[in-house]
């Protein structure tokens, strides 16, 4: 069975993007094993501590390597993706051996997709900035279909992600397409 690793760009337990990941997990159903990447303990990327890799970095790299595909869920902070997600990607973009840029990284060629929930922008600012970064890192990025959600006022007051039937269908279509990509 294929394994999809969900990477949620928010640490908040009840975040809208974590709720969106749970909705995507339901859309995937029993067709793949879904795991969530725990990367809250990653140190800030710092070349002074890069080799040997800190334990948290080694664990995250191994988890990424073992997954068949990656699904990013990004909030939008100040018209961009969160710093903790950038920190993770900085670690994942680095060579595994000192100064050996010829070896692949854990994400090189890894199938991936992304989506997000945010305010009026529907997370498109953060998604739009993540795409070139993920492409530069050589992920095998599936960009269609892509789900982006503009949170309605009731979500902000209740703290609950409210998806329209169209958004639920979009998430289902994205899950179906990503599973097909993984084979």
Taking each continuous run of H as one helix and of E as one strand, the counts in the chain are 6, 6
How would you classify the pairing of strands 111-118 and 33-36?
Answer: unpaired
The pLDDT of residue 103: 84
**H helical segments located in 78-164:** 83-93, 124-136, 153-158
For 83-138, the pLDDT digits (tens) are: 999 999 999 999 988 888 888 899 999 999 999 999 999 999 999 999 999 999 99
Between 96 and 175, whose confidence is greater? 175
CB 172 within 8 A of CB 25: no
The pLDDT of residue 101: 84
Give the C-alpha separation, 57 to 30, whole Å.
29
> How confident is the model over 170-179, as a mean pLDDT?
98
User: pTM for this one?
Assistant: 0.96
Phi, then psi, of 77 in degrees rounded to 5: -115, 120
Q: Residue 22 sits in a domain of what CATH number?
A: 3.40.50.360
CB 8 within 8 A of CB 17: yes
pLDDT value at 68 more than 90: yes
In this prediction, residue 5 has a pLDDT band, given cuts at 50, 70 and 90, of very high
At 42, list the tokens.
């990653």
- Domain interval for residue 162: 3-182
Sign of CA dihedral 75, 77, 83, 84: negative
Give the C-alpha separation, 165 to 157, whole Å.
20
Q: Give the number of domains in the chain.
A: 1
Q: Which residue has the tokens 């998806």?
A: 163
C-beta pairs of 96-104 under 8 Å, 24+ apart in sequence: 96/53, 96/61, 98/50, 98/51, 104/138
């Amino acid at each position: 069975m294929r394994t999809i690793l969900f990477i949620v760009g928010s640490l908040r337990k009840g975040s809208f993007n974590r709720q969106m990941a749970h909705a995507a997990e339901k859309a995937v159903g029993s067709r793949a094993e879904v795991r969530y990447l725990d990367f809250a303990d990653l140190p800030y990327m710092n070349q002074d501590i890069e080799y040997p890799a800190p334990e948290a970095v080694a664990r995250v790299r191994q988890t990424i390597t073992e997954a068949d595909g990656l699904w990013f869920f990004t909030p939008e902070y100040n018209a961009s993706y969160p710093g903790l997600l950038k920190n993770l990607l900085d670690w994942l973009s680095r060579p595994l051996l000192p100064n050996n840029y010829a070896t692949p990284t854990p994400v090189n060629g890894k199938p991936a997709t992304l989506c997000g929930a945010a305010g009026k922008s529907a997370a498109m600012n953060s998604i739009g900035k993540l795409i070139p970064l993920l492409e530069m890192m050589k992920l095998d990025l599936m960009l269609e279909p892509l789900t982006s959600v503009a949170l309605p006022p009731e979500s902000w007051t209740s703290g609950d992600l409210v998806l329209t039937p169209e958004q639920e269908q979009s998430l289902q279509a994205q899950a179906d397409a990503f599973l097909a990509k993984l084979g």
